[in-house]
Amino acid sequence: MKYKEQKRLIAEYFINSEKSRKDFLYGAELEYFIVDNKSNRAISYYQKNGIKELLATLIELGFEPILENSDLVGAVGPDLTITLEPGAQFEISLDPDKTLKGLEKKYLNFLQIIGPILKQRNQQFYSAGYQPVTKIEDIPFIPKKRYRYMSEFLSSKGSMALNMMKGTASIHVAVDYCSENDFAAKILLASKLTPVFSAVYDNSSIFEGKKYENYCLRTEIWNNCDSSRCGIIPQVFLPDFGYEKYAEYLLELIPIYISDQEDLIIYDKPFKAIFDPQGDADKQLNHIFSICFPDVRARKYIELRMTDSLPYPLNFAFIELVYEIFYNKTIFESTADLLNEINYYDIISAKKSAVQSGVEAKLGRKKIITIFREIVNMTGYKNSENFAWNRIIAEKGKIPGELL
């Protein structure tokens, strides 16, 4: 009985998050490494002119602090929120906007603020899927106790968990949904596009100071983490997938840690053993969402998480393509038809093959680059200047690391 109530509450959460199509918004999170200009070595949270001091400078400019106990771990500014990933990766969460142009303006406005500060410190934003020079053991965790628990747990599940936590950076794009059917269809198509987006926008050519000889380094790292909470969700491919099936997936996840009245404690039982329908459902769900890392994740929106961090304007070229596919009904249906026969095992195979062959790997019967070209061609030629980068990638068959 409790399990049914748990599923009902989770389904209700998603129902309450539905939007009418006219109210769909544009939203994105962009992650960066902050590195030294000359050496490209990581700037840590703790060092002189480190990330903590950078946040403090933003506070002096009028940003609102985000504190964990007494530690400064983020800042809220005009039209965005800054948070830190475990290795002090700098995450910019742009406030959702009614237009893509408005979202881009918020991003560019922040670059005007942060750019001079970094220049004065002889530092820069570094856009890539993986930290370029510094070895993972030399990057300290920021002062959040939860990351110690997460690192211990995830390291027991996969050989590259610490690389994932402290060494990777990506772009997350948020897509709204209007109904359960829309929710299911969008998650399914986004999951099928995972190997396409991760291979085509591969921007990880260096691994700890040495040239990475394969492709899709960030994909390889995620393939070697906790398979129960990373990668592709198998339930997405069930004919009756919807809110309750996603709820079943969440309820089987181990929360890793939970918060009691005074501290965090380790918790190694499934979420269904702790989720209290009589308690604060939103608080409990926000926790399980925060330790759930699939390529495509659902919360109040659907989040596409499979793409490496990219420099401007390539990042907005990718973001625009996502919205062309998911907010344009005609292109959505055409892309779904193009990938209609792709199944769960095709995606798993393509993700593994892409590490060896990049965009020449096959997803089903076609090469990834061929699929990408067909999708880009569906969009027509009335897009922004940023979008032209997608056409360059499609025409040349070269990934961002090669183009740049």
Structure tokens at 109: 């406005």
Are the C-beta atoms of 232 and 188 separated by less than 8 Å? no
Helix (H, G, I), strand (E, B) or coil at 389: helix
Does residue 363 contact residue 371 with C-beta atoms inside 8 Å?
Answer: yes
327 part of a folded domain:
yes
pLDDT, average across residues 359-379 = 97
Instruction: Single out the residue of 84, 232, 51, 208 nearest to residue 138, CA to CA.
Output: 208
> What pTM was computed for the model?
0.97
Q: Quick check: helix, strand or coil at residue 44?
A: coil
Whole-number average pLDDT of the chain: 96
Identify the pLDDT of residue 304: 98
Are the C-beta atoms of 299 and 289 separated by less than 8 Å?
Answer: yes
Does some domain include residue 400? no
**CATH number, position 12:** 3.30.590.20
User: How many CB atoms lie under 10 A from the CB of residue 344?
Assistant: 16
Q: Strands 71-77 and 256-259, how do they pair? A: unpaired
**Where is 43: in which H helix or E strand?**
none
3-class secondary structure, 209: coil
- The pLDDT value recorded for residue 262 is 65
Q: How does strand 264-267 pair with strand 256-259?
A: antiparallel
In a domain, 254, yes or no: yes
For residues 192-221, average pLDDT: 96
Task: Please count the structural domains in the chain.
Answer: 1
Residue 74 lies in a domain: yes
Tokens 């309750």, residue located? 244
Residue 402: inside a domain: no
Q: How confident is the model at residue 231, as a pLDDT?
A: 97
Q: What is the pLDDT of residue 261?
A: 63
Q: Which pair of tokens denotes residue 402? A: 């090669």
Cα–Cα nearest to 165, from 179, 182, 190, 146? 146
Q: Residue 207: inside a domain, yes or no?
A: yes
The domain in which residue 76 lies consists of: 2-393
Using only the alpha carbons of the chain, give its radius of gyration. 20
Q: What is the pLDDT of residue 144?
A: 93
The reply to whether 401 falls in a domain is: no
Tell me what percent of the residues of the chain surpass a pLDDT of 70: 99
- For residue 266, the model assigns a pLDDT of 85
CB 332 within 8 A of CB 189: yes
